[in-house]
Amino acid sequence: MTSPLPSVRGTAKLRFGLPALLALLCALLLSPTVRKSRAAQADAPSTAKAITVVLDQDYPPYAITTPEGETTGILVDYWKLWEKVTGVPVNLRPMDWNNAQNEMLQGRADVIDTLFRNPDREKIYSFSKPYATIEVPIFVHKDLSGIKDLDTLRGFTVGVKRGDASVDYLSSRGILPLAAFDGYEGVVQAARDARVKVFCVDKPPALYYLYKYGLENDFRLAFNLYQGEFHRAVRKGDEALLQLVEDGFARITPEQYEEIDRKWRGSSLFPSSTMRYALWALAVVAAAVAVLVAINAVLRRTVRRQSSRLDQLLVAVGQSEERHRELVQSAASVILRLDHQGRVVFCNAFGLDFFGFALEEMIGREIGLLIDIPEAPGADDDDASWPQTLTALAQSPESAASLTRQHRRKSGELAWIVWSLRGLRAATGGVNEFLCIGNDITERKRIEEALRASEARYTLVARGANDGIWDWDLRTNIVYYSPRYLEILGYAPDEVQNLLDEWTKRIHPDDAENVIRANKRCADGEVDNFAVEYRMRHKDGVYRWILGRGASLKDERGVVIRMAGTHTDITRRKRDEEALRESQDQLAKIFRFTPVGISITTRRDGRIVDVNETGARMFGHVKSEVIGRTAQEIGLWRRVEEREALLAEMARAGSIFGKELELRHKNGSTVTVLYSAVANHAYGEPCILSVLVDITERKAMEQALRRSKESAESANRAKSEFLSTMSHEIRTPMNTIL
């Protein structure tokens, strides 16, 4: 605690120090006029307007609120004295500190007391000179250690008083979260009820309430956060009022300050340090005499008891040795004692049974030659040999050592044992034997080997799958990204931190909402796993398509605490899918708009699965009335045998190209087509893809041309016959004439 005023600090020195008295006397002699003027002002009745003063009601010993609601304390007495010396009425309103600051800001109070000065408050207040220095410490529970500064305080919830200057100080330095309570007493009560383990309360009220609630041994002062100074303040621009306040307190004498301070802080029990030291010396002498008398009495009783207790101790030692022997023999561990050369001196029953030797086969044998395997495969590289280990223990008796080695039993079976070794001292103080306790870890080694093999398989599978791996711990918000994960995005392992933001900031803006929602549903426990396709920005700035898969791990309460999954680059697949879509779109347009008929029918029964409009119109139908019907049902074939012949030909040749067929139109007329077909698989079953070119008109033209040719040939033959007959008829008479 510091004194309330700089002039009051060290009041005893002011009273009894000769230099201070001389200085005070000179001041009084040199300024009689001022003294008379101030006395006149103090005695004269004042008509000054009353001022309203607000201050913290919860700041012992400066302001203490009694159970009856009355506020007392050092500052209450100060202001009463100020009112007396100035003659200005004071409306003193102790209240909750937050409310006190609001009253000032809303203009319902003229002066605020117990205010710390900081840059934000300097913008709205004019401050008096400081009149008390206050330490602002951090208190921690006695079971909590390691907090010594702001860096080690980070991450702990700190209890604070609502509206206190420490709130801004801590939050501006990143000390969060803060638990705010009403008043300093509320903070200490929260600490008492274990709602907070760390709190920040100004030292004077902190000590007051810790002692009040008997918590002085439960909490420790970890470190001082900073030092503040009490000021009185008025609103900015009201310097005249501030001067009035300052002048009033300056007129209070040091003796008056001291009297108030002694009233609330108390006085020393011993006015003289010499008397205090004398009393302490007397108390020490008396205590020493009492201790000597007590020691003498105890020694007398002890001597009388030693003879009887010695026999009891001997019996107890014998019993202890017997219990120790039973413990060693019944222990489920190998227990050996070796001499300084590593030879077996003792082996318990478990060890004999474990190694399969009789006691006489082990006693006197060097342990390494008895059970070790020369250059045993798989032995821990860091382990020294038996002689090296025993030599090191002999040189350092206080130390211990451990060995993990593979041994051979008498039966030839191999076993792994982890040994704990310690030197046993002789009466001379040196090490003459070594205690070795071994535990069988053969099964653990087998499990470790299986785990290594499993991890190797997992690593091989992950590398073979060419997928990246991520692992998100929701408790720490730390995310592991595998090297392959980062390689997919073009980064080296040291270029990306293990933060969730490294993932979210690279998601394409158009995909972010959908991707984050899928992950959040899994993190919230709505689904156990998810898969989502989205784009992520590569190091080169180009977006890659990613298939993200993930699954969740829950704790015993069903809360998701961890998520992990894979990260697959599907950019090439997406490009192929896009190319396939474009190709399918082109084929669909060709299928729809080509001038030839195209149909897909089932191989089994000729049911029409799909047909373009050209193919349907070719036979007088529309597409909708033929889909799902067979060629026989719509009367396309004149004879069923024709279709069977086509199927047989296709089975032989694999396809049909440009075969001329005559099919039936809806109106019964014949439609001649050039028919091409190939087998394919569509809609989940074997089908036939057919292409039909309508050549009916061409066939009609060919027939007309054929008929015209036949007519011309017939006319030409008739002309030839006519000319031949006429030639004969004419030639016969001419021959007669000639």
- Over residues 69-91, the pLDDT tens digits come to 899 999 999 999 999 999 999 99
Strand partners, 136: 226
Query: In 669-697, which positions are buried (b, 16+ CB within 10 angstroms) versus exposed (e)?
Result: eebbbbbbbeeeeeeeeebbbbbbbbbbe
Fold of the domain built from segment(s) 594-737: Beta-Lactamase (3.30.450)
**Three-state secondary-structure class, residue 346:** strand
The highest-level CATH class for domain 51-265 is alpha beta
Whose tokens are 């302001």? That residue is 63
- Cβ distance 465 to 566 under 8 Å? yes
Q: What's the N-to-C CA distance of the chain in angstroms?
A: 176
- Cβ distance 510 to 559 under 8 Å? no
At 218-266, the pLDDT tens digits run: 999 999 999 989 999 999 999 999 999 999 999 999 999 999 999 998 8
At 428-467, the pLDDT tens digits run: 778 889 999 999 999 998 998 888 888 787 777 767 667 8
Write down the CATH number for the domain with range 466-576: 3.30.450.20
φ, ψ dihedrals at 494, nearest 5°? -85, 5
Residue 330 confidence (pLDDT):
82
Using DSSP bridges, classify how beta strands 685-694 and 670-682 pair: parallel, antiparallel or unpaired: antiparallel
Residue 635 confidence (pLDDT):
84
Q: What's the CATH superfamily of 328-371+390-446?
A: PAS domain (3.30.450.20)
Strand (E) or helix (H) holding 700: helix 696-737
User: Around Cβ 447, how many Cβ atoms within 10 Å?
Assistant: 11
Lowest mean pLDDT segment, chosen from 209-223, 557-571, 716-730: 716-730
Nearest to 224 by CA among 506, 462, 2, 529: 2
Residue-by-residue DSSP string for 530-595: EEEEEEEE-TTS-EEEEEEEEEEEE-TTS-EEEEEEEEEE-HHHHHHHHHHHHHHHHHHHHHHH-S
Q: Is 320 left (phi over 0), alpha (psi -120 to 50) or beta?
A: alpha
pLDDT band at 189 (very low <50, low <70, confident <90, very high): very high
Residue-by-residue DSSP string for 163-222: T-HHHHHHHHTT---EEEESHHHHHHHHHHTTS-SEEE--HHHHHHHHHHTT-TTTEEEE
Share the mean pLDDT of the chain: 85
- Which ranges in 62-109 belong to alpha helices (H)? 74-86, 97-105
CA atoms of 404 and 383, how far apart (whole Å): 7
State the number of CA atoms in the 13 A half-sphere of 13 facing the CB. 6
- Cβ distance 508 to 536 under 8 Å? yes
Strand partners, 233: 112, 127
- Cβ distance 142 to 218 under 8 Å? yes
Residue 711 confidence (pLDDT):
78
At 296-328, the pLDDT tens digits run: 888 888 887 887 777 778 777 777 777 878 888
The type of residue at 255 is E
pLDDT band at 39 (very low <50, low <70, confident <90, very high): very low
How much is the pTM?
0.37
- Quick one: 205 exposed, middle or buried, by C-beta within 10 A (0-12, 13-18, 19+)? buried
Q: Where in the sequence of the chain do the CATH 3.30.450.20 domains occur?
A: 328-371+390-446, 466-576, 594-737
Whose tokens are 């977006």? That residue is 543
State the number of CA atoms in the 13 A half-sphere of 673 facing the CB. 24
Residue 738 confidence (pLDDT):
62
Lowest mean pLDDT segment, chosen from 38-52, 91-105, 444-458, 686-700: 38-52
- Cβ distance 597 to 611 under 8 Å? yes
Residue 4 confidence (pLDDT):
36
CA atoms of 425 and 431, how far apart (whole Å): 4
Residue 11 confidence (pLDDT):
35
**Strands across the sheet containing 468-473:** 478-481, 468-473, 560-569, 543-554, 529-537
User: Alpha-carbon Rg of the chain, whole angstroms?
Assistant: 54
Lowest mean pLDDT segment, chosen from 48-57, 265-274, 630-639, 676-685: 265-274
Q: Where in the sequence of the chain do the CATH 3.40.190.10 domains occur?
A: 51-265
Structure-token pair, residue 679 = 């087998």
CA atoms of 72 and 63, how far apart (whole Å): 6
If you average pLDDT over residues 188-204, what whole number do you get? 94
Lowest mean pLDDT segment, chosen from 59-68, 118-127, 426-435, 684-693: 426-435
